[in-house]
Amino acid sequence: MQAPPGEDPIDPSNEESLGWIIDYEYDWRSRQVVAKRYRGDDPDTPTLIGQTLTWYDNLDRVRIEAEYGAVLPTGVDPTVTPPAAPVPDVADLFGEPAPISVTEHIYNGRGLVQEVRTYSSAEDYTATLTFYDHADRPIEVHSPGAAIQRYEYDAKGRQILSRTIAGGVEVGRTLTKYDDNDRAIETIRYERRHDGTGETLDAANSVVSYQHTWYDSAGKVLATADYGTNTGSATDNGTYSNGTAPVYDAETLPDRTTASGEHITSYSYDGAGRQTVVVHPDGTETHYEYDGLERQILVIENATADESQPGEQRRRTAYFYECADAIPEQRCQGERLLKIAAVLPEHAGGVDKFSDIQWSAADGTLQVTEFVYGAEVVDQGGAGISRHNGWIAEVHYPDPATGQPIAAPSFAFTYYADGAVASRTDAKG
């Protein structure tokens, strides 16, 4: 990055010279309870800079999360908590040194989170409260420093109304209408005007906006139209008039050629039901290509841009899976993602489909990130005991000059036998 002319040079980022390591520790039930973050400035003796501790209840629900620096108070260690020991009192966590943050989760009799407390000291906290109906659906949420949220449902359990309440006055509401197949087709939003009166909202005291959604017979979204206020207007003296509510017609998709200001997004699918084209409100298109196993292998953004014109450019991202280049006689059955590539405009004279990509190109026009599998599995002491071919061992970023993956790993991982990450090491150690 360069400074503007006449100004002092900008100091370079120090991320590449630092690096980091994260070590994970587990309790007697193999639950991740400690994450230790090290600055990897010295691979042999990395500097511990922070720790996140987690305590669970007997149902494996998170009860307390605490953030500390490099030093823990005496006796604070979830890895040595015996099976019969209860979750610690929050006051016990505010020893010396004090935690950076402490969050406590409290559950109701049906196992739902009814209160989340964020502590600033052993006695002081702010709380988020959630109230539920008989079907365990949230109907009211109280958050610190925020308005109250209320929700209403119909007899089928569909949320039809959400309301925002401040000081006993409704300041916002969202009304949702559904079709006979329980798909949301109309969303109507009310926002209180600055001069609105009355405790509840209606068209007379609020700004109303509209959004419609269309589906095919399989329930896939074909189009959305955001009408905004649909030509709502304000006079010179500040009086606002809402626009006319648009009429929803399930049989007629919106036509962007005759649109009168609404923002239309359209979706197309292939015969297998895979989304292949998205046309955005500004008219740009994103195209998707899949392989025979329905895996996404190429995404082209701004796909109809004429790249011969100044400022016109497509963004291409390709995904290379195991067996992508195998011949049928090899009977290859692997499904692992091996590479992700940023395909630059000049690659292979311009790429329109996956088969155009030259994965061995070393001219910098294909920036390839590679995943190497066969990760080492370690025991609790960090000693290797086996390897797992389904887990990522290394990530190799591209060499900017050639575009091919660099030889040294940008990240390296080890795992415990249950699949939990044991360590993550970046290129600096």
How does pLDDT run across 353-408, given as a tens digit for each residue? Answer: 999 999 999 999 999 999 999 999 999 889 999 999 999 999 999 999 999 999 99
β partners of residue 388: 375
Q: Look up the pTM and report it.
A: 0.79
Model pLDDT, residue 6: 58
**Three-class DSSP category at 122:** coil
Q: Over 80: is that where the pLDDT of 189 sits?
A: yes
Q: What percent of the chain has pLDDT over 90?
A: 76
**Three-class DSSP category at 156:** coil
d(CA 121, CA 143): 19
Q: Phi, psi (5° rounding) for residue 388?
A: -130, 120
Fold: same for 16-135 and 147-270: yes
Cα–Cα nearest to 210, from 190, 182, 181: 190
pLDDT (tens digit, 9 = 90+) per residue, 248-267?
Answer: 999 999 998 887 889 999 99
Task: Name the residue type at position 23.
Answer: D
Comparing 42 with 340, which gets the higher pLDDT?
340
With cut-offs at 50, 70 and 90, classify the pLDDT of residue 15: low
Model pLDDT, residue 1: 43
Q: Over 50: is that where the pLDDT of 155 sits?
A: yes
With cut-offs at 50, 70 and 90, classify the pLDDT of residue 11: low
Model pLDDT, residue 82: 73
Q: What is the topology classification, in CATH, of domain 16-135?
A: Lipocalin (2.40.128)
Q: Over 80: is that where the pLDDT of 14 sits?
A: no
Mean pLDDT over 210-222 rounds to 97
Structure tokens at 213: 């959604």
pLDDT (tens digit, 9 = 90+) per residue, 275-318?
Answer: 999 999 999 999 999 998 889 999 999 999 998 898 899 999 99
* Helices and strands, counts by H and E, the chain: 2, 26
Q: Over 60: is that where the pLDDT of 10 sits?
A: no
Model pLDDT, residue 330: 62
With cut-offs at 50, 70 and 90, classify the pLDDT of residue 201: very high
Determine which of 63-77, 221-235, 406-420 has the lowest per-residue pLDDT on average.
221-235
Q: Over 50: is that where the pLDDT of 347 sits?
A: yes
Comparing 134 with 234, which gets the higher pLDDT?
134
CATH of domain 147-270: 2.40.128
Contact 151, 138 (CB under 8 A): yes
Contact 355, 343 (CB under 8 A): no
Model pLDDT, residue 81: 73
Q: What percent of the chain has pLDDT over 70?
A: 92
Q: How is the chain split into domains, by residue range?
A: 16-135, 147-270
